[in-house]
Amino acid sequence: MNVPLVDLQEQYRRISAQLDEAVHRIVSKGDFILGGDLESFESEFATYCGVHYGVGVDSGASALEMALRAFDIGRGDEVITVSHTFVATVSAIVWAGASPVLVDIDPKTFNIDPDKIEAVITQHTKAILPVHLYGRVADMHAVQAIAKKHGLLVIEDACQAHGARLDGRRAGSMSNAACFSFYPGKNLGAFGDAGMVVTDDAAVAEKLRLLRNYGQKRKNRHDLLGYNRRMDNLHAAVLRVKLRHLDEWNEQRRGAARLYDELLGALEWVQLPVAPEGESHVYHLYVARHPRRDELAIHLQNNGVSSGFHYPIPVHLQPCYDWLEMRHGVLPHTERAASTVISLPIFPEISKEQIEYVSSLIMEFG
Ligand SMILES: *Cc1c(COP(=O)(O)O)cnc(C)c1O
């Protein structure tokens, strides 16, 4: 049996009629840039998240950088985030001109440890940027309390958490602005790169609309130094179709996670993700820990099963971040996670048989 880490072809196969219709509608009208489906999707996704405004951009990485810029965060400013994340979280801070300040994670949740934040706040700190890693919402109550106490902005990296909730509120609605990626493999994925910033702040939304479109309020008038970073209508049309399936897909992911939990729960040498109550986890990834995860990955691969490491080298130890001068050992929980995590196949359409097969391979590996 072959089990991929994610299976985009199977998703397409099941809703291809709806998706083909959406693509055809855009192509036949020649309606490619701004307006139309982009505006509709922005308002539908913002409403889904529980906020007023959505601004579609060309990637999650752009969303993060532009959100920071829209709040005038730049040179001389510090932004607190984690090192156990996809590199773009940190790179966006640097692109905006600010300095990333990286703190350790809570090893149980893989998310920012709120107890580590206050010690690194300085007079230059402008924002906290929590990441809802793997689809699990960070401890936003604690993050918000710290931000309020110190007068800081909060910007969510929700690139892995479409639809996740904390006490009824969706990821994206618990901060000044939140950034999403619609990279094809995310829980809500386009037919290429796309992203969005969602916010309740009308002025920030307006600034983002200028930034993504050459800083242009009206034709040939450039009020801001902008970019060309719009979300294409083709992606918006595809995402409108897929948004209607997102809750069902997330429920299927939670079902798959529960089955892994059941089948692997008794194994001493495997540490499973700690499952929070309710809908606060949307399992973008199902990440276990194993002391010999490299060998386990090879064993799985030899038997037709793909797995992944998210992420094997923490951002602070990447060659491009040498200049941060953060040595081995400074973020112990982050570094331990990097060397033990293994992501098992998970996607809405994964079958019971596939999960049982993956689990049996893990049990026989020991
Ligand atoms: C995917 C991702 C990003 C970047 O999104 P892109 O659309 O690939 O640019 C940023 N942060 C996290 C946590 C991500 O998973």
What pLDDT, in 10s, does the model give residues 25-70? 999 999 999 989 999 999 999 999 999 999 999 999 999 999 999 9
Ligand 1 probe mutation, 86, 155, 212, 315, most atoms within 8 A of CB = 86
What's the rounded mean pLDDT across residues 150-173?
97
Q: Measure the CA–CA gap between 192 and 30, rounded to whole angstroms.
A: 18
**Mean pLDDT (the chain, rounded):** 97
pTM: 0.97
Supply the pLDDT for residue 103: 98
The closest-lying atom of ligand 1 relative to the alpha carbon of residue 88 is 10
pLDDT at 279 over 90: no
The closest-lying atom of ligand 1 relative to the alpha carbon of residue 92 is 10
State yes or no: cis peptide before 134, omega within 30 of 0: no
| Closest of 101, 108, 68, 106 to residue 83, by C-alpha | 101
Q: Which of the four pLDDT bands, split at 50, 70 and 90, describes residue 277?
A: confident
Residue 160 CB less than 6 A away from ligand 1:
yes
**Within the chain, how many helices (H) and strands (E) appear?**
11, 13
Residue 81 CB less than 6 A away from ligand 1:
no
Q: How would you classify the pairing of strands 221-222 and 216-218? A: antiparallel
Give tens-digit pLDDT for 338-358.
999 999 999 999 999 999 999
> Can you list the pairs that 359-366 forms with residues at least 24 positions away whose Cβ atoms lie under 8 Å?
359/260, 359/263, 359/264, 361/299, 361/300, 361/303, 361/305, 362/264, 362/267, 362/270, 362/296, 362/300, 363/264, 363/267, 365/295, 365/296, 365/299, 366/269
Residue 60 CB less than 6 A away from ligand 1:
yes
Helix ranges restricted to H, 75-184: 87-95, 140-150
Give distance in angstroms: CA of 87 to centre of ligand 1.
8
Which residues are within 8 A (CB) of 251 and not within 5 positions of it... i.e. 6 or more apart?
A: none
Supply the pLDDT for residue 35: 86
pLDDT at 171 over 80: yes
Residue 45 CB less than 6 A away from ligand 1:
no
Above pLDDT 70, what percent of the chain? 100
Q: Which of the four pLDDT bands, split at 50, 70 and 90, describes residue 323?
A: very high
pLDDT at 269 over 90: no
What's the rounded mean pLDDT across residues 122-147?
98
pLDDT at 124 over 90: yes
Q: What residue type is 221 in one-letter code?
A: R
Q: Measure the CA–CA gap between 180 and 173, rounded to whole angstroms.
A: 12
Please report the sign of the dihedral spanned by the C-alpha atoms of residue 164, residue 170, residue 171, residue 172: positive
Supply the pLDDT for residue 288: 96
Residue 183 CB less than 6 A away from ligand 1:
yes
Please report the sign of the dihedral spanned by the C-alpha atoms of residue 256, residue 254, residue 315, residue 157: positive
pLDDT at 169 over 80: yes
pLDDT at 79 over 80: yes
Supply the pLDDT for residue 42: 98
CB 338 within 8 A of CB 313: yes
The closest-lying atom of ligand 1 relative to the alpha carbon of residue 132 is 13
Placement of tokens 């990485």 in the chain: 61
| Closest of 224, 130, 141 to residue 177, by C-alpha | 130
Supply the pLDDT for residue 135: 97
Q: How would you classify the pairing of strands 99-103 and 221-222? A: unpaired
What's the rounded mean pLDDT across residues 177-198?
98
Grouping H, G, I as helix, E, B as strand and the rest as coil, residue 153 is strand
Q: Measure the CA–CA gap between 360 and 341, rounded to whole angstroms.
A: 19
The first and second tokens of residue 109, run together, are 């949740």
Residue 89 CB less than 6 A away from ligand 1:
yes
What's the rounded mean pLDDT across residues 88-93?
98
Q: Which of the four pLDDT bands, split at 50, 70 and 90, describes residue 108?
A: very high
pLDDT at 278 over 80: no
Helix ranges restricted to H, 50-194: 60-70, 87-95, 140-150
Give distance in angstroms: CA of 67 to centre of ligand 1.
14
pLDDT at 146 over 80: yes
Please report, in angstroms and rounded to a whole number, the separation of the first and last CA atoms in the chain.
Answer: 20
Q: Measure the CA–CA gap between 226 and 243, rounded to whole angstroms.
A: 29
